[in-house]
Every structure is written in C-alpha cells, then in structure tokens.
Chain A
Amino acid sequence: MAAGPMKMRATLVGGNTEVRVLMTHPMETGQRKDPTGKLVPMHFIQQVLVKVNGKVAIDSQVSQGVSRNPVFTFRLRGGAKGDRIEVSWVDNQGESNRTEAAIA
C-alpha cells in the first residue's frame, strides 16, 4: 500500500526556522475493531527524522499514542532561505515516506 500524501513547510520565524509537517497515516493502536468486529492490527509511525542540508537535526521515536494523520511542528536554530529541509518517517510495518522543502 502506497503511503498517503505528506506535506511540509519550513519558514523563517524570528531568526529561527519553523518546520510544520503533515503526514497521512492511520496510526492504528491495535485496539480498534473494524466494521466486521475484527481487530485492526497495529500500524503506526515509529521514527521521524528531520534533516537540514542532509544532516540529522531531530530524531524522533513515535508511538501509536500520536493522533491519526500526525502533524508535527519543530523548530531549528537559525536557518536561511533556500536551506534544504527533509522530513522522513518509517512505520512499524516497514513502510516509509519522505518530503523535502526549501526554507521559504
């Protein structure tokens, strides 16, 4: 199953960079039952990486306690227009996605 859309915006705010990333992911806890009464298996993002110009700036371990279709906001020290930001995730089923944007 292809990962759903992901969107990220990196903007300069007061000398620092604010990174807001939207992810499509069911973040299933493994406790929910589908309409037939069957338990939907655990399916959630486990790792999120934020890279600046190729270097890891934030390394996140995430669990099923994060809401469905996660939205994270991070802040980076400094930053300049055009710096390359990359956000990527991997989930517990080995699926992944990534997106890139330049600081605007």
Chain B
Amino acid sequence: MKLRSPRHARLFVLLGALALLAPAAAQDAKKEIERYQRMIAEGSPVELFELQGEELWRKPQGPRNVSLEKCDLGLGAGVLKGAYARLPRYFKDADRVMDLETRLLYCMVNLQGRSREEATKRVFGNADRQSEMELLSAYIAGRSRGVKMAPGMTHPKEKAAIELGRALFFHRAGPWDFSCASCHGEDGKRVRMQDLPVLYKPAYARPVVATWPAYRVSNSQFKTMQWRLNDCYRQMRMPEPNFASDATIALNLFLTATGRGEPYRGPGTKR
C-alpha cells in the first residue's frame, strides 16, 4: 500500500501502535479491577455480619428455648472451627447430604423445636435486615478461615450428589435454553466488566468456593450460596429452586468438590 504523505504515514504508525496497545490495555484493566477487589476486601464490613451471626448462634430460640450451640455441623456438636470447609457432606442422622444452610435448618427444627415453615419464612434478607441464615452463615464460614476446602466425596450419597450436580450444571432448560455452563462453561466469557469463571474447572472454581458466602457492595447485602444458586436460576429465567432442595445441595457440592483444596479465605467481599 502506497503511503501518500507523511501525514498518512504518521496515522498508520499511530493505528499500529493502538492495535498493539489494545491487549495491553485489557491486561491493565484486569489488573486494576483486581486491585479494586483487593482493596474492597481489605476495607470490608464483612466482620460485622460475622459478629451478628455469633450472637444468633448463641441466642435461645424456638419452643425449646435453646441456642444452636449444640448443633453438629459435621465435626461434632458445637464444633465450628473448620466445619464450613468440610461442607457439603453426608449426615447420618438426617440420612442426607447437606450444605451449611440445610444443616442449620435441620438444627433449628430438631434442636430448637422450630417449624420448617417458621425457620424458612425469610431466608434471604436485604441491606436493612439480613436474614438469620445469612448472619449465621457469615459467622460459621468465618470460623473456617485458612482451612482447606474438603467437602464430602466418598459416601455413596455424596458421590450421587456430585453426579447430580454435574448433570444439573450442564442441563439446558427454560425459555432461553440456558444451563450454568452457558455462562460458566467456556473460557474468555464476560458479562459487562465481569470475567465469568469456568466453574467446572478447578483453577476457576477454587477462588470462588473460597470466597462465599459474601458481602455484595453493589447492594450492601450479605449473600449465601443458597441465594447465589437461586438467583442464577432466576437470571436464566427458570423457576427458582426450593431452599435447601436436593438440586441446590447437589450443585453446591459439585462446585465445592471442583474447588477442593483451596484454603478458605473467609466470607468474601464482592462488587
């Protein structure tokens, strides 16, 4: 191509330079977003939710007027250190695989004598008033800081749940024919400025499972995995799954198993 004048030549050089700059600029954007994420985590109010959760853990409630302090989250009655990192898992007394919120519900019903209806009346809260489940989740998850994620994977029911979770992850349905994999199944996908992690790959799943439940700065709300899964279905325009249903537990176990080995960082802070 013949360059007609020095002006054209300069323009060409500038365009060339810009073309080279584009990937570098994208990398810079990613770096700055990571810096944002690091700084909001360092200056996060998340501990306040953990404190409130601790109060609820110790609060006598229900017809039996007892606290949740004797609840067995898998490591023994009342043992909290490291318990969250071992969930979801199979529980013999319930003969069921359970995640944290499901297990809390079990203890509310069986220890405190509360009805399932009452205990699940308001499982997802808001910025003005977080739910019991959310606050308890913050506290209990916080007690697993630094502990490697190690959900149950050996019991036959745990294995079955993982397979169900995997099947659900890839199962397309609903008016948009979406599955989890539609957004979280391919490298390089993004929604606006959000990189979408490929959640069936360990490298992506690990940092995700290590930072839920989490405080969302965009709406000042503390959110749990049950909420996250529920909201994904809503966003896919599919019916929202029931709280503590087999489907949600299976998905949760599939994701956590995929992210196993990652040291839990404590309740996260996200955009």
* Chain A contact residues, CB within 8 Å of chain B: 4-7, 22-24, 26, 67-71, 73
Contacts and interface: CB of A to CB of B under 8 A. Distances in A.
Contact of A68 (B43, B44, B52, B127): B127
The secondary structure that dominates the A interface is: loop
A3 to B, nearest CB: 12
The secondary structure that dominates the B interface is: loop
A26 B130 CA distance: 13
B115 to A, nearest CB: 27
| Most chain B CB atoms below 10 A, which of A7, A69, A70 | A69
A22 B127 contact: no
B128 interface: yes
A71 B43 contact: yes
Given A4-B48, A7-B47, A26-B127, 7 more contacts: A5-B51, A6-B48, A7-B48, A24-B48, A26-B128, A68-B127, A71-B43
Nearest to A34: B128
| Most chain A CB atoms below 10 A, which of B45, B51, B217 | B45
A2 B80 CA distance: 29
Nearest to B126: A35
Interface residues of B, number: 11
B48 A22 contact: yes
A24 B44 CA distance: 11
Contacts of B51: 5, 7
B45 A71 contact: yes
A68 B23 CA distance: 35
B37 interface: no
B47 A67 contact: no
A17 B262 CA distance: 33
Nearest to B215: A69
Nearest to A71: B43
Contacts of B128: 26
Given A5-B51, A7-B51, A71 B127 contact: no
Interface in B12-42: none
22 contacts: A5-B48, A5-B51, A5-B52, A6-B48, A7-B47, A7-B51, A22-B45, A22-B47, A23-B45, A24-B48, A26-B127, A26-B128, A67-B217, A68-B127, A69-B45, A69-B48, A69-B220, A70-B45, A71-B43, A71-B44, A71-B45, A73-B43
Interface string B113-133: 000000000000001100000
A23 B220 CA distance: 13
